Amino acid sequence: MSTHHAPLRGIRMLGVASVAAAALLISGCVNPNIPATDAEGPATATSAAPAVTRPAAPEGELPTELQAQLQSALDQVMADYDVPGAAAGVWVPGEGSWTTAAGLADVEGGVAVTTDMTWPIRSITKSYTVTMILQLADEGALSLDDTIDQYIDGITNGDQITLLELANMSSGNADYLTPAFIADWQAEPDRIFTLDELNSYVVDQPAEFAPGTEYIYTNANTNLLGGVIEKVTGQSYAEALDERILQPLGQSGTSYLTDIADWTGPHPTGYVIDDGVPMPQTENPSILAAAGSLFSTLDDGRVWADTLGSGALLKPATQELRTIGHPIPKPPYDDYAVGMGETDGWLGHNGEGIGFTAATFHDPETGASIVVYMNESDTADKSHPADKAFRALAAVLANGAAK
């Protein structure tokens, strides 16, 4: 396996306006999608999404020596960052699979991690949300050039911010982590916030910059797109997700959870390391919504890595558009594109926060996928342990192919 230039790298140095123009040119027309229908109600799709089935894991196991190298790389990252526990997998078509569970899911109880546990995948949720927006664009139910005010009232510069700018983090709108939200959350830490409530904290907030002129990564960008999905489909976010992605891909281990009481079955506890001591974190997934409230298993992560990186749910031109990226301060990608990041040619998404980190990536050139889930976040040096592990595992594959 060899490294290669990422599909996003060719336009890394373009300005924001040039990137937007290039995105439109890829589709071969002024608008990259079929014209939008009336935004006041559910739209009727004009064309079906590509038919998909759950991609199968490669048959057999990876070579024993390679497995040992992968395990060593994972163990080293866990040691470097005092990670309590992790589940990880590497799948290479034509060569085989490797999955592992390491460390503790519950430090106090001494419960070991298993490969069938369900993990919060945090911002990997964003890649699902943006995929649904792109599906709706493919169907003609909306246009990526639509402005957010066509769907949600009261957003500053809402008549200028496009759905594409929300998806690629160039909208400039405020995040919902306002003093009002923080006060409400602190007053009721267990309160179950709705998507509409989270979006209400963005209303009338001052813009951070003019739409399309900079890039800042926020949860609010994606939660607003979640509101658009609900408006266009006439379904709740969870219903649309189940119908459009989870059922077609057979992702029975993946759920959109806002009530922590619904997180049943074996699962890890999230930790932040404080002076060498793992401190358990309180879980309230409702504060993340369409930007981060998905929970998933390792094998469902494999399925999503393959589907996201290959573009199986989208038209080819739409998948090409979504790979147009740009440098962004956070999270740790080489480039961030349209609800998807790129690192050394691997396409996927990271997730981080409140005791967990996750990484789900696919290499379109080789068809390989890597997934890492860890129950630690907010390291002292602001590193992303799962992303560090993904990069280490990818390096093992690259070095193995070079021999």
Q: What is the 3-state secondary structure (H, E, C) of 239-268?
A: HHHHHHHHCCCCCCCCEECCCHHHCCCCCC
- pLDDT band at residue 401 under the 50/70/90 scheme: low
The C-alpha atoms of residue 36 and residue 45 are separated, in whole angstroms, by 10
Higher pLDDT, 153 or 32: 153
Is residue 53 within 8 A of residue 251, CB to CB? The reply is no
Higher pLDDT, 22 or 371: 371
Local structure of residue 162 (DSSP, 8 states): B
Contacts within 8 Å (CB) and 24+ apart, 340-343: 340/127, 340/130, 340/308, 342/6, 342/7, 342/8, 342/9, 343/6, 343/387, 343/390, 343/391, 343/394
| In the block, residue with structure tokens 């395990």 | 71
pLDDT tens for each residue of 4-53? 323 333 222 233 333 333 332 222 222 333 333 333 344 433 444 568 99
DSSP of 291-303: GT-EEE-HHHHHH
Q: What is the residue-averaged pLDDT of the chain?
A: 89
pLDDT tens for each residue of 309-362? 999 999 999 999 999 999 998 889 999 999 999 999 999 999 999 999 999 999
* Complete domains list, the chain, with CATH: 9-31+58-402 (3.40.710.10)
